[in-house]
Amino acid sequence: MPNLKEIRTRIVSVNSTMQITSAMKMVSAAKLKRAQDAITRMRPYAQKLNEILSNLSGSLDASEGVYSQQREVRNVLIVAITSNRGLCGGFNNNVLKEVRNLVRTTYSGSNVKVLSLGKKAFDLYKKSPLHTAEGFGDNPYTIFDQLTFQNASGIAAELMKQYADGKWDKVILVYNRFKNAAVQVLQTETFLPVVPPAGVQASRVDYIYEPDKEQILNELIPRSLKIQVFKALLDSLAAEHGARMTAMHKATDNAGELVKELKLTYNKARQAAITGEILEIVAGAEALKG
């Protein structure tokens, strides 16, 4: 059994850790509220934009568009969206595991590169031959340091440009979609080429178009793609704070249980020490009598 000093030291250490995890939980809860509000406001707009786009695409030959061209999949870009920081459970590991799975199985016969949005993905792939950031500025992985639509649209624009130039035959987004504070859903989406969702019927709303449908479609597709990237980043940010809040809540509870166990062990050890001292005194007294 460890001595009393060691147990006291552990109790102090665990209490300090519990204070940190509790503070991190409260910080994540505050950040989650803002991030959740942002993605909640974004989703209706993105859904309506996709609805209009589906209605237009249903009456046009979308395959003629530069972003809708179906090519043989030889060069694939996987955009891995992770967080900048850890301590959020399996949030980052789930994304990185899915990226590895795509590289080894689905696209094993293709030339695959990974674009890291988030420092955790960058730290893993920065020295890997899979890593690429050409054309995306010096530090695309720091996008979450200042997440704005302007910064997100810049990344989306470069993805569209590289696809239009034929550098990539397919662009995939891998990220965590925010469902609620406790649940994040791993999402794998085809960003390019643009493909109408399977099984989704075009809206029957009879729109009046000005100018013509073709010109509106050419304007809507790039905008929709930029919104798709921004929404994925907002989803990931909200999911990150939810995952960290949940992880820190569990860590705080576990620390509390550990403190209880350590205090019980400390009291038992203290009682044993006191009992031992009493026995020594009694034994000494008996020896003096003899």
Q: Token pair of 34, please?
A: 């803002």
Helix, strand, coil share (%) of the chain residues, nearest 5 = 60, 10, 25
Determine which one of 14, 24, 77, 88 is catalytic: 88
Q: Does 88 participate in catalysis according to the annotation?
A: yes
Instruction: Count Cβ neighbours within 10 Å for each residue of 56-91 and write b for 16 or more, e otherwise.
Output: bbeeeebeebebbbeeeeebbbbbbbbbbeeebbeb
Asked if 191 contacts 79 with a C-beta cutoff of 8 angstroms, the reply is: yes
Q: How many CB atoms lie within 10 A of CB 251?
A: 19
Asked if 29 contacts 248 with a C-beta cutoff of 8 angstroms, the reply is: no
What is the set of active-site residues? 88
